[in-house]
Structure 1
Amino acid sequence: MRRSAWLRSLRWRLLAATFVAVAVAVVMAGWVLSGLFSEHVTRQFTVALTAELDQVTARFELDAQGRPSLDPAVLSDPRWTRPYSGLYWQVDQIGGAAPRRGVLRSRSLWDAELQAPADQLADGGVHVHEVAGPGGATLLLVERTVRIAAGGTGAWRLLVAADRHETSQAIERFNGMLALSLTALLGLLLLAATAQVAVGLAPLKALQQALAAVREGREQRLHGRFPLEVQPLVDDFNSVLERNAEVVARARTQAGNLAHAIKTPLAAMAQAAGSARQHPDELVALPRLVAEQVEVARRHVHWHLARSRAAAAQGVPGMRAEVAPIVAGLVRVMSRVHGERGLRLETEAVPPGLAFAGETQDLQEMLGNLLDNACKWARSTVRMSATAAQAAGAPRLRVVIEDDGPGIAENQQAQALVRGSRLDETTPGSGLGLAIVHELCGLYGGELSLSRGELGGLKAALLLPMAASMEVQ
């Protein structure tokens, strides 16, 4: 559990990633700098040895008998004459019938010889080697092949070598200082990274405190100043809190409205029951009154449940109800319900992919009420279409249902949308159909408009939010 908590810690993950990255960078920097310094020191040492080799080459000559000679007195560095001083020269004969090593040597070599590896050198070319010297010392050696004159006694190999001890010590001292410096730099970088992580994660601590205030009921939303990267999260969370508060408020309102709505039928049944006890002759009418009041209560419950479901679904992302199967199912049901009247139900082909951005039950409720109302009043024909439309700059689902019935006068259309209002008491119904459609449509941010249609009767047009993936024509 402790290891799992460490792995889930954003602070430790950032610090670990920073430590690894900084450590790799510092090690790579040390390796590169050490290599560059070593290469630079070796190159300077080689340049100095090559200058000494040039001096030896300039002083080397042959006498009249072709014997080589080199006067040590003309060489400027006193180390040439001090035994095992660390600076040496040597002349080898590599041409002629009998090649010889150490024909001439510096006094500093004493009784030792330079052992240069055998290789082929162009005249005047310089090669550099690392060889073992007197006393097992490591030497850096430069060599050159020269010919005094054509037809002479052959080629001569001039060697100059020096002990690498001082350069190696210089490189070691540099590497030691470099290691200390980079270690100090690594420590400072890690301290800076720790401070950076602490400062960077400080807003999350403030966010945690704000969340605690909301959880404990001291605040209703998140308050405080947050970085630009965190502020969108805070805004979204506040939106969720506001939506939850709205849902709770609507739930309380719906519960109160439902309680108030069924209070009247219950009071009526209680009064009728009490009256029947006092007047036995009224018992015959009691069942009918109870059935009527139960039906009234049922309609109110149905009404409020529909409103609650639509209110809860409003604005919820990802909700989608395909229109085509709902329309086909409603047409089949209405054909059976009103089959004895021989109505003709005309439906235009629904475009593929056309969908409502909301609950399937709510779309069935709205279209079912409009279609049932049209079938009740139609003389022979009901027409229905569903298309994609553009309204207020946004894609919308447009459903039109019309009939060839008597229609509704323009001055009565607003009254028809009032809950419980019935313009014709001779036709069965509760007066809730158009009102339910009107209110559900409003909860989804849609519109319901009534007018006279081409068939001569009522034309009901619904504009509802449309789900994505459908192009508007």
Structure 2
Amino acid sequence: MQNSSLTARVLLLASLWSALALVVIAVTISTLYRQGAERSFSDLLRAQLYNVINSVSISNENTLTGSPQLGDLRFAQPDTGWYWVVEPLGNFTAAPLVSSSLGVASLPVPGILDAPFDSRYERFYPVVDEAGNRVLVAETEVVLDGEGRAARFRVTGNLDVVEDDIASFSNSLYIALAIFGVGSLAVNGFAILFGLRPLDRAKVALGKVRSGDAERLEGTFPREIQPLATEINALIDSNRRLVERARMQVGNLAHSLKTPIAVLLNEARLLDHQQGELVRTQAEAMQAQVQSYLSRARIAAQRGSILARVEAEPALERLVRVMRRLNSDKNFTLQVAPAGLVLAMEQQDLEEVVGNLLENAARFAASNVSLTLEVSTQAPSDPEDARRTWVNLVVEDDGPGLEPEQISEAMKRGKRLDESKPGTGLGLSIVSEVASEYHGTFKLSRSALGGLKAELLLPGLSKEHV
């Protein structure tokens, strides 16, 4: 439930509540109908009981006489469960009167303690007749004349009639509620999906910000979502101000250091060769060190910015074109798959790391340098980073390459394995630091071309997934 979508959770809770409500409604209505049906059945038997009482009397021959007409053919059909019986009580010994449906059979009579009379001197109790029918008996005792002679009157009805009626009603009720429930779930689902559509619009708007197509969340949102959109826009504005402030400070620092370093380099030319070369080398190293730390500060300031995006292929094509012009004797190849890969980093940072790698490869390659960029199947171990898309950037050459023990030396800041080649020894170190600042990785190994293979893992985002 914690990781499921909001739509799924709302649909699940609404479905569970609707199902529970329908079950409670079905049970309640069925119970109330049963109570009403049983009460109506008892009232019917009571009416028939008094109809029998009004139809029976004592004749001049001291016998029970009468012919009750209850208007129901079931009292005339055997073993139906619908009977009436009039039995004399006490010293009155006349023959009992029974319905033709009962015939010579008899009905059990429970004791007073098992089925007591109510305030109207009536009692109702269920019994099973000799035919196996469950019947409900309505019974009372009535004094028939002034001499105190009395009789017990009983009328029965088959309880299967009530149960069949209740079952028929319950089945109809359950079918109706099931149809209503399915319809309600469909309507609830549509209402929930329709109600949550503004969240989809907010997602699309945020995706445009992530892809760089928009600078703010654009669109009209309901008042429940508008405060969130406002806060996100405020966060974007604050982030943009922080990045711009960091860039301005970096630029100011670079400008303030540019002149002193340039003065040192100019003064180095006036010194004798040995001292001048030493000062020049150290000034260039200092210049590279300053640039490296300024780049790290700038990257740290903007690393969390959702606006840091660069389309990889055009930027890499520009770098390859420059390297081809500067190294006309070398063959440079570029492969980007799939097309439209977008890296979550600043363009100048991408150009700096790739430029360093291409320059290093061109310096030592015999004739071929390869640059490839593709979506990676691996990701850093950090859970936050693992949810993003990552890409592999690989630069290979067919030069002499490096042995494993030389690779660790080459990664050290300021370390140059070949002093005959120009450079400060900071290129690979800068590449590693930039990759680390973007939570990526950088490693060197032997290339299939025979030379060095430099592999970068960088944060990226494919446009078709934006």
In the alignment, which of 21, 27, 32 is matched to residue 36 of structure 1? 32
Contact 1:79 1:87 in 2 (8 A): no
Structure 2 counterpart of 1:157 = 152
- The 1:245/1:76 distance shift into structure 2, 3 A limit, reads closer
2:96 to 100, 103, 120: 103
Aligned letter for 2:122?
V
Can you give the 5+ residue segments of structure 1 that lack an aligned partner in the other structure? Answer: 281-303, 313-473
Equivalent residue in structure 1 for 2:11, among 15, 38, 41: 15
What displacement does 1:256 show? Answer: 1.0
Shift of 1:133: 2.9
Moved more, 118-127 or 103-112: 118-127
Q: What is the alpha-carbon distance in structure 1 between the residues aligned to residue 259 and residue 102 of structure 2?
A: 127
- Residue of 136, 139, 154 corresponding to 2:135: 139
Indicate if the aligned counterparts of 1:92 and 1:103 stay in contact, CA closer than 8 A.
Answer: yes
Partner of 1:201: 196
* Cα shift readout 1:18-60 (whole Å, capped 9, x = no counterpart): 2221111111111111122222222222112111111222233
Deviation at 1:116, TM superposition (A): 3.3
Work out the CA distance in 1 between the residues paired with 2:65 and 2:272.
150
Contact 1:109 1:134 in 2 (8 A): no
Residues 176 and 202 of structure 1, relative CA distance in 2, 3 Å threshold: same
Q: Distance in 1 between matches of 2:145 and 2:176?
A: 56
Distance 1:9 1:199, change over 3 A: same
Task: Give runs of aligned pairs for residues 211-250 of structure 1, distance below 5 A.
Answer: 211-250=206-245
1:114 equivalent to 2:107? Answer yes
Who is 2:256 aligned against?
261
Q: What does residue 452 of structure 2 align with?
A: none
| Larger displacement relative to structure 2 (247-256 or 205-214) | 205-214
Deviation at 1:199, TM superposition (A): 0.9
The answer to whether the aligner puts 1:75 opposite 2:40 as a matched pair is: no
Task: Report % sequence identity.
Answer: 28
1:108 partner SS: coil
Confirm or deny: 8 A CA contact 2:138 2:154 kept in the other structure.
yes
Contact preservation (8 Å) 1:80, 1:108: yes
Between the two proteins, the alignment pairs up a number of residues equal to: 280
Distance 1:81 1:241, change over 3 A: closer
User: Partner residue of 1:126?
Assistant: 122
Offset at residue 83 of structure 1 (A):
3.3
* C-alpha deviation, 1:181, in angstroms: 0.5
CA deviation vs aligned residue, 1:352-384 (integer Å, no higher than 9, x gap):
xxxxxxxxxxxxxxxxxxxxxxxxxxxxxxxxx
Q: Does 2:166 align with 1:171? A: yes
Q: CA deviation at 1:93?
A: 4.3
Aligned pair partner of 1:189 in 184, 187, 205: 184
2:51 aligned with 1:55, yes or no?
yes
Q: Is the 8 A contact 1:87 1:161 kept in 2?
A: yes
User: 2: CA distance between counterparts of 1:236 and 1:68?
Assistant: 99
SS class of match (1:109): coil
- Name the aligned partner's letter for residue 163 of structure 2: S
Matches within 5 A, 1:364-443: none
Please provide the CA RMSD for this pair. 3.8
Give 3-state SS (helix, strand or coil) of 2:216's partner: coil
Cα drift, residue 195 of structure 1: 0.7
User: Which one-letter code corresponds to 1:103 in the other structure?
Assistant: P
Partners of 2:261 and 2:75 lie apart in 1 by 130
SS of 2:222 mapped into structure 1:
coil
SS at 2:220's partner residue? Answer: coil
**Alpha-carbon shift at residue 192 of structure 1 (Å):** 0.8
Task: Provide the secondary structure at the position in 2 that maps to 1:135.
Answer: coil
CA contact (8 A) 1:124 1:146 kept: no
| Structure 2 equivalent of residue 46 of structure 1 | 42
Contact 1:127 1:144 in 2 (8 A): yes
CA distances 1:165-208 after superposition (whole Å, capped 9, x unpaired)? 43333222212211111110111011112112211222222222
> Equivalents in 1 of 2:128, 2:34: separation in Å?
20
Q: Distance in 2 between matches of 1:151 and 1:269?
A: 145
Query: 1:87 deviation in Å?
Result: 2.9
Q: Residues 81 and 30 (structure 1 numbering): CA distance in 2 closer, same or farther, change over 3 Å?
A: closer
Residue 68 of structure 1 and its aligned partner are, at CA, apart by 5.0
| 1:164 Cα offset (Å) | 3.1
The one-letter code matched in structure 2 to 1:56 is V
Q: Distance in 2 between matches of 1:108 and 1:143?
A: 18
- Residue 157 of structure 1 deviates from its aligned partner by 2.2
**Amino acid of the structure 1 residue aligned with 2:104:** D
Question: 1:148 and 1:80 mapped to 2: Cα distance?
Answer: 27
Question: Any conservation in 2 of the 1:83–1:110 contact (CA below 8 Å)?
Answer: no
Deviation at 1:245, TM superposition (A): 0.9
Q: 1:80 to 1:33 in 2, by over 3 A?
A: closer
Shift of 1:130: 2.2
Compared CA separation, residues 189 and 201, structure 1 to 2 (3 A):
same
Amino acid corresponding to residue 128 of structure 2 in structure 1? A
1:31 partner amino acid? V
1:74-94: CA deviation from partner (whole Å, max 9, x where unpaired): 535363862325431112345
Aligned-pair CA distance for 1:273: 5.4
Larger Rg: 1
Check whether the contact 2:59–2:65 (CA below 8 A) recurs between aligned residues: no
Q: TM-score, normalised by structure 2?
A: 0.52
| 2:75 and 2:82 in contact (8 A); partners too | no
Query: Against the structure 1 CA distance between its residues 71 and 58, is the aligned structure 2 distance closer, same or farther, given a 3 Å change threshold?
Result: same
| Paired letter, 1:23 | A
Kindly indicate whether the alpha-carbon contact (under 8 Å) linking 2:76 and 2:99 is maintained by their aligned counterparts in 1: no
Secondary structure, counterpart of 1:107 in structure 2: coil
Pair 42,54 (structure 1): closer, same or farther in 2 beyond 3 Å: same
**Structure 1 residues 95 and 185, CA gap change in structure 2 (3 angstroms):** same
Structure 2 stretches lacking a partner, 5+ long? 276-293, 303-466
- The offset of 1:276, in angstroms, is 6.4
